[in-house]
Structure 1
Amino acid sequence: MQVRPTLLPWSTEHGTLREISKAEVVAALEAPTPFGGDGHTRLTALRSLFAFLKAQQKVFADPTRRLDRRVTRRPGLRIPTRLPASVLEEIGVITHTPATWLVTVLTGHHALGAVHLRTLALEDADLPNRQFTIQGQSRPLDDLTHQAIQRYLGYRTRRWPSTTNPHLLITQQIAHHDSPVSRVWLRTVLRGQEASLDLLRQDRILDEVQAIGVRDPLHIAAVFGLRADTAQRYVDAVYGRHDPTENI
């Protein structure tokens, strides 16, 4: 049902789905449909379709492959998208340094964005009392994050024993300054992987939306420190767009 409105116009312009380009998929995701849903739902449906066709050797290339990053950056669309389980598993088994593993945990487990990662201070991590201050709010320190921070702090102390940089995350370039890590350095954390930190963060927030099982943007905004409209966008990505006046 979700892909039928997309396939009908394609059938008048193309003789085979092998001719479909990524640009046409993006255009289809932006187009309204009479069956409701949104671009996220259609992207999921199209992915399944092209994955099946490729497995059956009916198409040579999948135009939906690695489309997440491109789609979510389009100003008019910005659809948060779940990462495939295979991508998450790949992130879990690649070789991480203590620093890159901590960034991965803070992004994938706590959904911290680049701004918050760069401003985290050493004093925000209270290991003895198992407390972690995130965006001004103190939270219990779970085992995964506790171990990641503990491992990183051991590495940090060995590598830069004399540093006075107050930030939790530091690099060789800033160990003897008070600057935060750069955005460029953060972008290298998952270099070579299909996912980016932005997509990993989106996946974590969407996971929370699905876990609570109800349409509750206020909960999502409170847990992750999001603006109300941003939280609503994540809820809509899971449940479809909702017009609050439709039941009036």
Structure 2
Amino acid sequence: MPAPTTPRTTDQTISTTDKNPDDACHDVEAKLAFHECDIHDLAQLDTHLAAKPVCQFLRARGLLIDDPELHRDRDLAWIETALHALPQPVADELRTWVDVLRDQGPRENEPRSWEGIRRYLTTLQPTLTSWTAAGMTTLREVTSDHLHDTLEGLAGTARRQLATALRSLFRVLKRKRVIFRDLARNLAVGDLTSIPRPVPSDLLAGLLDRAETPFARLTIALAAVHAVPAAEIRTARTVDLNLARGTLELHRGLLRHTLYLEKLTHRLAADWLAYRHQRWPASVNPHLLVSQKTALAPDHPAVHRVTLGQVVPPNGPTLDRLRQDRILDEAIATGDPLKLMRLFGITEQTAMRYVGTAYPERTANLPR
């Protein structure tokens, strides 16, 4: 006779449905979770649906499946798309150039931004597309005639930007031994350090009064009063603004430059912080200046340079012109390059250029 079956104890008879309630809850959430890419696709069908805030809401509740592709730098994504559209040998040569630019930033231990590299590549893209469409398979085939024909008919800023980008590209490829000769090294690019020009007084008059928002007024003050470059205005951080001490620290690579806010800028900064807190109380974006698109964005981006440039009237001076005018005004008033360096955090060469513009008779006989 077969041995009698041993009955299971109560501890051994565990139903498959007797799971931990927390595990069951997680299973339900997993079934209800949305793919981030689906949210973005849905937002394209309805202009009233903002994908990023919805994703942020779902992510905070564990109901979102993140898509890593959507969190890549958009300028980097554009660069890779542009390179992918080119023939393979040319694309590989350009990737070498992009890698070198990325590693050699404008300051020590500070990589060049993808945005800056994208501007370079945007300038080069029509030329590269034309060359490859004509049958060019590698940049080793570029001749002096190619460069001459590319620049012929261009003038002013367009010629200077293209010539500068071509010189950068071929200089790097020669250094990396991708090409044998740097044919672009002698391309004339014009005066990259042009003489600063003052902004006409009628353009400056009432510029702050015409600014309609606290965002615009603070931006104009930082450029026109403290000569802060637009790129540093974008990346300034709230934690570096100290209203009690009246200072704003700007990060420049491993260095820092401290602005001592006078009464006007101090008031405008306080007004902006009050407006920002009232308008976006839940914003945790670390940047001092935020916009409707960046205030609640989960990746905490800086405001776009186009958004920043729109604070001045369409026919008015740009932020860079306002900055140049401020430094030139101080150079005319003092004629002291050391004071310009301390006040604005500029280099010795830049300070001497402004002093030379203000007092050409002082620097006319200096060795070049």
Q: Name the SS for the 1:134 alignment partner.
A: strand
In the superposition, relative to structure 1, how do residues 184 and 95 fare at CA in structure 2: closer, same or farther (>3 Å)?
Answer: closer
In the superposition, relative to structure 1, how do residues 243 and 182 fare at CA in structure 2: closer, same or farther (>3 Å)?
Answer: farther
Q: Is the 8 A contact 2:226 2:259 kept in 1?
A: no
Specify the alignment match of 1:229 in structure 2.
349
Runs of 4+ in 1 over 6 A off after TM superposition: none
Shift, 1:138, TM fit:
3.6
Superposition CA RMSD, Å:
2.2
**Aligned partners of 2:322 and 2:282: how far apart in 1?**
33
Which of 111, 127, 132 does residue 243 from structure 2 map onto? 127
- Aligned-pair identity (%): 35
Query: AA paired with 1:201?
Result: R
**Aligned partners of 2:260 and 2:219: how far apart in 1?**
18
- Superposition pairs for residues 62-141 of structure 1, below 5 Å? 75-76=191-192, 78-135=194-251, 136-141=256-261
Query: AA paired with 2:350?
Result: T
Structure 2: runs of 5 or more not aligned: 1-155, 157-188
Question: Which is greater in Rg?
Answer: 2
Specify the alignment match of 2:279 in structure 1.
159
**Aligned partners of 1:98 and 1:115: how far apart in 2?**
19
Shift, 1:96, TM fit:
2.4
In the superposition, relative to structure 1, how do residues 74 and 110 fare at CA in structure 2: closer, same or farther (>3 Å)?
Answer: farther
**Aligned partners of 1:188 and 1:139: how far apart in 2?**
24
Shift, 1:173, TM fit:
1.2
Shift, 1:243, TM fit:
3.1
Shift, 1:77, TM fit:
5.7
Does 1:175 find its partner at 2:291?
no
Which of 188, 194, 198 does residue 310 from structure 2 map onto? 188
**Aligned partners of 1:168 and 1:242: how far apart in 2?**
42
> Cα deviations across residues 94-123 of structure 1 (Å, max 9, x unaligned)?
142000000000001100001210121101
Which of 318, 321, 331 does residue 209 from structure 1 map onto? 331
- Number of corresponding residues: 173
Q: Is the 8 A contact 1:120 1:168 kept in 2?
A: yes
Q: Name the SS for the 2:205 alignment partner.
A: helix
In the superposition, relative to structure 1, how do residues 245 and 138 fare at CA in structure 2: closer, same or farther (>3 Å)?
Answer: closer
Structure 1: runs of 5 or more not aligned: 1-25, 27-72
Specify the alignment match of 1:199 in structure 2.
321
**Aligned partners of 2:245 and 2:237: how far apart in 1?**
16
Query: AA paired with 1:202?
Result: Q
